[in-house]
A and B are shown apart, each in its own frame.
Chain A
Amino acid sequence: MASAILHIKDAYYFDVPKFMWRHDYTSLDQVPAFLRDRHPHATPEEFNEALDGKILIPQPFGTLKNLYEKESGFAISKFMVLELLVALIMAVLFIRLATKMRTTLVPRGRMWHFLEGILFYIRDEIAMPAIGHHDADRFVPLLWTMFFFILLCNVMGLVPWAGSPTASFGVTLALAAVTLTTVLVAGMMKFGFVGFWLNQIPHMELPLVLAIFLKPMIFVIEVVGLVIRHGVLAVRLLANMMAGHVVLLAVMALAFSVAGAASEKWWLTAFISVIGSTLLCCLELFVAVLQAYVFTFLSALFIGSAVHRH
């Protein structure tokens, strides 16, 4: 049974209104093999009807099980395409900004001032206080990339027929893994391998006997805490993006749930649904920016605590 949540999750096709993308399968040979194999009794017309409005992504490196799961190999999904799009947008924007900044002392134009303002904010208000003036400069590019990548991925969820890659656990975990890797590498480069792990134990004035007993336990707690902290980073972003989309979906589903009801009920519900989803989209936009900020800020804090002695 089709579940509404499939509209939020990653898939191997882009969902657009049916009239925008028609399939004209005349024989079963034209239908993708994985669909044909799973539905041996369906006619080409049935496939056409079911697949209208679904832009299937070509899969040169893998095979699919269904539209949401792969069978084998490496399958290219909607979110991967969107991530590439985000990366492309970022590359175009910031390389242009860099070119402009190189040629003129202060580039003119609202767009460039806007981008510069955000870059300045991340450097001066996030990186500097969280990591410290001495070390911040090395990590500022990472935080810049992180903020804009997450922000644009979040905002993609508000673009019609696109979707939010950050509403997928794989993506948020990968991003948290970037932070964790940075914390480990930066910490070990600063204090050495052993020094980094010893640095996890907070400094305490303990009698030797107690120290032998307590410090290993504290070490275990701190290391587990380190992993959990980064895991929570992923879960927080995922939950925020997912929850926003689920609520939006639920409000939109109100209209569908009364489909076929008496006209005045339909109109009332549709009205509520349209107004509600508009307002929720505004909220989503705010959450998209907020969560990008929170992720970046917490990453900066974790990096800061890794490169400073406790």
Chain B
Amino acid sequence: MLSTFRALILVAIVFAWTVGPAGVVAVHAAEGEHAHIGHADAGDSIEKPSEIKSDLAFFTFVVFLLLLAILGKFAWGPIVASLEKREEAIAKHIADAERMNQEAKALLAQYEEKLAAAASQVREMMEDARRDAEHTRQTILAEAKSGADAERARSLREIESATDAALETLAERSAQLAVELAGKILKFKLSSDDHARLIQEALAKFPAAASSAN
């Protein structure tokens, strides 16, 4: 834009330079000499801006109406029709877009619903799984506990029977010792039958004393 402007200025300057003052003087001189050729018999209104030329006015009126008619038929009519067509098309596009938007919204809602259902299903499944796991844990725990209890009971039982056996041995031994000791003291007073009977009596008393001591 600016370069065009500069170029124009340059052209103007070059033009002025080449034609120069001399050219202007020559033109003026020529005008001066023959100024009257072409203006002979000039009417009063020739230099008035307000002069009305009826030919021109009539011509303008006719040209304008013809132009209006021609354009009306070949340009404005089709243009208006096309504009209306375009407006309809745009309105249709907008309506279509609106409808599609509604459909999309409906679809979205549907899918959201589905998603929500799926989510709740997943939650339920998780819940089930958790419950199952809990159940399994409880079962395993209970089994382990009962196993441990059984083992403990068995151990207790073994301990008890070992204790009983030990106590029996101990009683037998202590009764034997007592009898031997008493035999030594009473050496001759007791026969071996007496001896055995004494031991039997002592043993019969022992378990009762041992269990009450327990």
Residues of A within 8 A of B (CB): 1-3, 5-6, 8-10, 18, 35, 38-39, 42, 46-47, 49-51, 54, 65-70, 74-75, 77, 79-80, 83-84, 87, 90-91, 94-95, 97-99, 101-102, 105-106, 119, 137, 140-142, 144-146, 149, 165, 167-171, 173-175, 177-178, 238, 242, 255-256, 259-261, 263, 266, 270, 274, 278
- Whether the pair B60, A174 counts as a contact (CB closer than 8 A) is yes
Q: Which residue of A lies closest to B84 (CB)?
A: A137
Please give, as numbers and ranges, the residues of chain B lying within 8 Å of A95 by CB-CB distance. Answer: 71, 74-75
Q: Known: A1-B35, A67-B38, A256-B28. Is A97-B75 also a contact (CB below 8 A)? A: yes
- Whether the pair B47, A259 counts as a contact (CB closer than 8 A) is no
Q: Interface readout for B40-54 with A: 1 if CB under 8 Å, 0 if not?
A: 111100110111111
Q: Pick 7 A–B contacts, CB within 8 A, sort by A.
A: A75-B55, A80-B55, A80-B63, A91-B70, A256-B24, A259-B25, A263-B21
- Whether the pair A91, B67 counts as a contact (CB closer than 8 A) is yes
Q: Tell me, yes or no, whether B30 is within 8 Å of chain A by CB.
A: yes
User: Number of B interface residues, CB 8 Å?
Assistant: 59
> Cα distance A111–B42 when bound, in Å?
45
- Whether the pair B38, A98 counts as a contact (CB closer than 8 A) is no
Please give, as numbers and ranges, the residues of chain B lying within 8 Å of A242 by CB-CB distance. Answer: 49
- Whether the pair B75, A66 counts as a contact (CB closer than 8 A) is no
Q: Tell me, yes or no, whether B111 is within 8 Å of chain A by CB.
A: no
- Whether the pair B78, A66 counts as a contact (CB closer than 8 A) is no
Q: Tell me, yes or no, whether B1 is within 8 Å of chain A by CB.
A: no
Q: Which residue of B lies closest to A103 (CB)?
A: B82
- Whether the pair A46, B37 counts as a contact (CB closer than 8 A) is yes
**Residue from A79, A256, A260, A261 in contact with B56 in the complex, judged by beta carbons closer than 8 Å:** A79
Q: Tell me, yes or no, whether B86 is within 8 Å of chain A by CB.
A: yes
- Whether the pair B64, A175 counts as a contact (CB closer than 8 A) is yes
Please give, as numbers and ranges, the residues of chain A lying within 8 Å of B75 by CB-CB distance. Answer: 91, 94-95, 97-98
Please give, as numbers and ranges, the residues of chain A lying within 8 Å of B16 by CB-CB distance. Answer: 270, 274
- Whether the pair A141, B68 counts as a contact (CB closer than 8 A) is yes
- Whether the pair B47, A10 counts as a contact (CB closer than 8 A) is no
Q: Tell me, yes or no, whether B31 is within 8 Å of chain A by CB.
A: yes
Q: Known: A77-B55, A101-B79. Is A145-B64 also a contact (CB below 8 A)? A: yes
